């Protein structure tokens, strides 16, 4: 669940040459007017930004202590939303990255992502509505503004951060495809890694760097999600579901379901069938 609390919001249109230190987490939309810019994380390092021009429209993240040097001309247009803590993203000094925290998982996300010119009108409308709703004073409007901002932040999760070595990325994607195709878990992770010609430890490292989850955990969670889907959407027996997923006996499947959901298979199926009704 994304927890967001908007502190304030605004937009700027005046030409200005300045330097300032950010004092809160924030999300920004840059549209026009940037002549030059440099940003520094709280420890003085510079974000590893995607390769796009200084004047290209973009979405940007801000963290407390970030220093921003900039110069805008008279065509300036930029929007910003400041957040109250806690926020879903933080700067990690050891990794020198902005990290999205999601419970037991964390993801490195870019400090900025480029926008196509065609995306600007829609994104401008979103930030306009967020700004208007933030100051309406109505609880419903404030909730809507926070949900709209959550939709903007999803863009940062969707923007993949490239690995230092593209071969590492290929390895992680190949391993994921092999795991996905091995629905009955006929092969161990060692055997799957051997199929792509790498050792298990190296494959685990590549997989975690790319997906922020270990391959064994990914396989387990994917299997549980598929089992839950079959219980919810089909009339297959436990024996049939167990067979589909390479579980030798339905008693093992029942034990797995009890451990994950604290319900028997029958109780779990009844619960989700009631929800659907």
Angstrom distance (rounded) from CA 222 to CA 88: 24
Q: Are residues 66 and 172 in the same domain?
A: no
Angstrom distance (rounded) from CA 191 to CA 263: 33
- Domain range for 137 is 6-158
Task: Beginning with the edge strand found earlier in the chain, give each strand of the sheet holding 97-102 in spatial order.
Answer: 89-92, 97-102, 105-109
CA angle, residues 213, 154, 160, in degrees to nearest 5 = 50
- Hey, CA dihedral for 180, 184, 189, 190, is it positive or negative? negative
Strand-pair partners of 40: 67
Which residue stretches of 82-214 are H helix?
A: 120-134, 139-158, 166-181, 189-195, 200-211
Can you give the CATH number for the domain in which 37 is found?
2.60.120
Return per-residue pLDDT of the chain as tens, 277 residues: 578 999 999 999 999 999 999 999 999 999 999 999 999 999 999 887 766 778 899 999 999 999 999 999 999 999 999 999 999 999 988 778 898 887 767 778 889 999 999 999 999 999 999 999 999 989 999 999 999 999 999 999 887 554 444 465 688 889 999 999 998 889 999 999 999 999 999 998 888 877 878 899 899 989 898 888 888 888 888 889 988 888 888 898 899 988 988 888 888 888 766 555 4
Q: Which residues of 38-60 are buried (b: 16+ CB within 10 A; e: fewer)?
A: ebebeeeeebeeeeeeebebbbb
Strand-pair partners of 203: none
Q: Are residues 78 and 206 in the same domain?
A: no
Residue 1 lies in a domain: no
Q: What is the pTM of this model?
A: 0.67
Q: Are residues 248 and 123 in the same domain?
A: no
Count how many domains the chain has.
Answer: 3
């Amino acid at each position: 669940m994304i927890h967001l609390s908007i502190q304030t919001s605004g937009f700027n249109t005046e030409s200005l040459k300045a330097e300032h230190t950010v004092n809160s987490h924030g999300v920004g939309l840059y549209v026009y007017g940037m002549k030059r810019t440099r940003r520094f994380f709280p420890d003085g390092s510079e974000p590893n930004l995607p390769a796009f021009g200084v004047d290209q429209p973009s979405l940007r993240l801000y963290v407390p202590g970030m220093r921003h040097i900039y110069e805008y001309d008279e065509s300036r247009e930029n929007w910003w939303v400041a957040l109250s803590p806690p926020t879903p993203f933080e700067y990690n000094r050891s990794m020198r990255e902005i990290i999205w925290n999601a419970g037991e998982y964390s993801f490195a996300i870019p400090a900025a992502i480029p926008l196509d010119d065609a995306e600007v009108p829609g994104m401008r409308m979103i930030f306009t509505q967020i700004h208007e709703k933030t100051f309406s004073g109505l609880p419903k409007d404030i909730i809507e503004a926070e949900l709209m901002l959550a939709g903007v932040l999803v863009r940062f999760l969707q923007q993949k951060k490239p690995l230092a070595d593209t071969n590492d990325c290929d390895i992680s994607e190949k391993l994921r495809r092999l795991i996905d195709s091995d629905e009955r878990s006929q092969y161990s992770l060692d055997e799957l890694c051997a199929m792509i010609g790498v050792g298990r430890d190296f494959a685990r490292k590549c997989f975690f760097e790319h997906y922020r989850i270990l391959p064994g955990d990914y396989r387990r969670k994917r299997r549980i999600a598929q089992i839950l889907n079959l219980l919810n959407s089909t009339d297959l027996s436990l024996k049939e579901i167990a067979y589909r997923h390479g579980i030798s006996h339905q008693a093992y499947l029942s034990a797995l379901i009890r451990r994950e959901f604290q319900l028997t298979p029958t109780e779990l199926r009844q619960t989700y069938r009631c929800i659907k009704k």
